[in-house]
């Protein structure tokens, strides 16, 4: 583990009775850190500093009390080092010592979980999430902390894997596992305006409130969908609609343009009519229709076509497991398989470009 003064801090959890000097010191970093529910000198863990996680962890570090420690972990060491450097810069630019905001790079997920009261994960696929949790759990029981350990997995994975992990943690009484995937993309992760949908047992109302208070450090909405697994189920239902709407929008725009309609006028009309949807309004696939959309910058950034295809795959496989027919699913899947192959790394609205290229010259 990298050297940090933070490790000498006791894992003490004391209800906040803030004194003025500490309040003044903290307010330099983030005035919203003040809440009677916030506790002091806690250790938080964050695993997976990718496109989403890196920015979420930055918001977390900015909003937890300065005296708390954030432990981070990513298989990509550069991401962790870049994170530490950036936080030191933030502290320096606010006139504080670079190490005043404590960030510790954990050597592995187990170390991080042993020390942290709240562990947030943001990993690509179900197998990454399972690997991380198996590495945490296979070394025997985690040492008890004063407050129950809370694992919040924000990754988009399948409900079966998520429930399996919740079960492994709950039956061994090693804490609470909550599935809390998110919506809002990299822009929302950076701005701290993500929407979360989470699955958590509400037998004790306290858990739901505790989860919500953590999620609100990284987002602006947190929907409690029901028991474990319902967060990822809700997310996959949402992204199934998104996958289909994106194709339908690309097709309708391509069709309208080929009929001679003005793309901006067409989009504006649809956005006040029954075809209105997020891909038409916010993420329009035609370059120049929405200036801030990825299509207007060569389909760079945004929600990658591979992630869309992954979510669609997970949704269809979960639908199959529950014997639910999805009439458009396989067609959409074959579209994304081809578009992913041809336009890997681009925003998923690149489906429009693919359709345009396939259209016959008339």
Annotated catalytic sites, by residue?
A: 235
Contact 208, 263 (CB under 8 A): no
- The piece of 10-18, 47-55, 143-151, 243-251 that touches ligand NAD (CB under 6 A) is 47-55
Binding mask 307-326 for ligand NAD (x = CB under 6 A): x-------------------
Tokens of 175: 């804490």
- Our CB check for ligand NAD shows the closer of 122 and 249 to be 122
- The piece of 125-133, 166-174, 205-213, 273-281 that touches ligand NAD (CB under 6 A) is 125-133
Contact 121, 47 (CB under 8 A): yes
Contact 99, 91 (CB under 8 A): yes
CB of 7 to ligand NAD, least distance (A): 20
> Under the criterion CB under 6 A, does residue 350 sit at the interface with ligand NAD?
no
CB of 76 to ligand NAD, least distance (A): 4
Q: Are strands 103-105 and 69-73 parallel, antiparallel or unpaired?
A: parallel
Residue bearing tokens 């429930």: 163
Dist CA 232 CA 4 (whole Å) = 36
Binding mask 75-104 for ligand NAD (x = CB under 6 A): xx--x-------------------------
Q: Which of 74, 153, 179, 340 binds ligand NAD (CB under 6 A)?
A: 74
Dist CA 299 CA 321 (whole Å) = 34
CB of 150 to ligand NAD, least distance (A): 19
- Our CB check for ligand NAD shows the closer of 194 and 247 to be 194
Tokens of 1: 């583990």
Dist CA 130 CA 215 (whole Å) = 22
- Our CB check for ligand NAD shows the closer of 39 and 43 to be 43
Binders of ligand NAD: how many residues, by CB under 6 A?
25
CB of 45 to ligand NAD, least distance (A): 11
> Under the criterion CB under 6 A, does residue 51 sit at the interface with ligand NAD?
yes
> Under the criterion CB under 6 A, does residue 155 sit at the interface with ligand NAD?
yes
CB of 113 to ligand NAD, least distance (A): 12
> Under the criterion CB under 6 A, does residue 48 sit at the interface with ligand NAD?
yes
Q: Would you tell me how many other CB atoms lie within 10 Å of the CB of residue 89?
A: 11
Q: Which of 67, 88, 90, 124 binds ligand NAD (CB under 6 A)?
A: 124
CB of 10 to ligand NAD, least distance (A): 27
Residue bearing tokens 């949704």: 315
Tokens of 97: 């010592």
The enclosing H or E element of 218 equals none
SS3 content of the chain, % helix, strand, coil (to 5): 50, 15, 35
Length of the chain: 362
Tokens of 216: 């609100």
CB of 53 to ligand NAD, least distance (A): 5
- Our CB check for ligand NAD shows the closer of 132 and 244 to be 132
Closest residue to ligand NAD using C-beta atoms: 50
Beta bridge partners of 73: 47
Q: Given CA atoms 194, 200, 203, 207 in this order, what sign does their dihedral have?
A: negative
* Phi-psi group of 78: left, alpha or beta (phi > 0 → left; psi -120 to 50 → alpha; rest → beta): alpha
- Our CB check for ligand NAD shows the closer of 91 and 314 to be 314
Give the binding site for ligand NAD (CB under 6 A). Answer: 47-53, 73-76, 79, 122-124, 128, 131-132, 155-156, 182, 185-186, 303, 307
């Amino acid at each position: 583990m990298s050297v940090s003064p933070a490790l000498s801090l006791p894992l003490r959890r004391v209800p906040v009775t803030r004194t003025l000097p500490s309040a003044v010191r903290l307010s330099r970093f983030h005035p919203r850190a003040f809440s009677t529910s916030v506790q002091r000198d806690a250790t938080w863990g964050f695993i997976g500093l990718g496109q989403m996680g890196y920015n979420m962890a930055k918001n977390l570090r900015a909003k937890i009390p300065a005296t708390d420690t954030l432990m981070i972990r990513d298989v990509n060491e550069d991401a962790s080092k870049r994170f530490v450097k950036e936080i030191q810069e933030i502290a320096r630019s606010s006139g504080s010592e670079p190490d005043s905001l404590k960030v510790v790079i954990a050597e592995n997920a187990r170390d991080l979980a042993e020390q942290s009261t709240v562990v947030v994960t943001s990993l690509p696929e179900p197998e990454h999430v399972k690997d991380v949790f198996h590495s945490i759990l296979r070394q025997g029981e985690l040492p008890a902390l004063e407050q129950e350990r809370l694992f919040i997995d924000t990754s988009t994975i399948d409900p079966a894997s998520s429930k399996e992990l919740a079960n492994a943690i709950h039956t061994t009484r090693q804490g609470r596992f909550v599935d809390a995937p998110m919506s809002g993309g990299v822009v929302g992760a950076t701005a701290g305006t993500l929407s979360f949908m989470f699955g958590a047992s509400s037998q004790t109302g306290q858990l739901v409130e505790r989860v919500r208070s953590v999620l609100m450090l990284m987002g602006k909405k947190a929907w409690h969908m029901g028991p474990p697994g319902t967060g990822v189920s809700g997310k996959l239902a949402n992204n199934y609609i998104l996958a289909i709407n994106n194709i339908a929008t690309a097709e309708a725009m391509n069709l309208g343009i080929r009929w001679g309609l003005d793309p901006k006028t067409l989009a504006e009309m649809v956005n006040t009519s029954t075809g209105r949807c997020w891909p038409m309004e916010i993420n329009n696939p035609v370059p120049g229709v929405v200036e801030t959309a990825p299509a207007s910058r060569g389909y760079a950034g945004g929600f990658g076509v591979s992630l869309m295809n992954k979510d669609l795959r997970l949704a269809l496989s979960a639908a199959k497991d529950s014997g639910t027919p999805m009439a458009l699913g396989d067609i959409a899947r074959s579209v994304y398989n081809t578009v992913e192959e041809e336009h890997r790394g681009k925003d998923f609205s690149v489906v429009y470009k693919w359709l345009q290229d396939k259209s016959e010259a008339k």
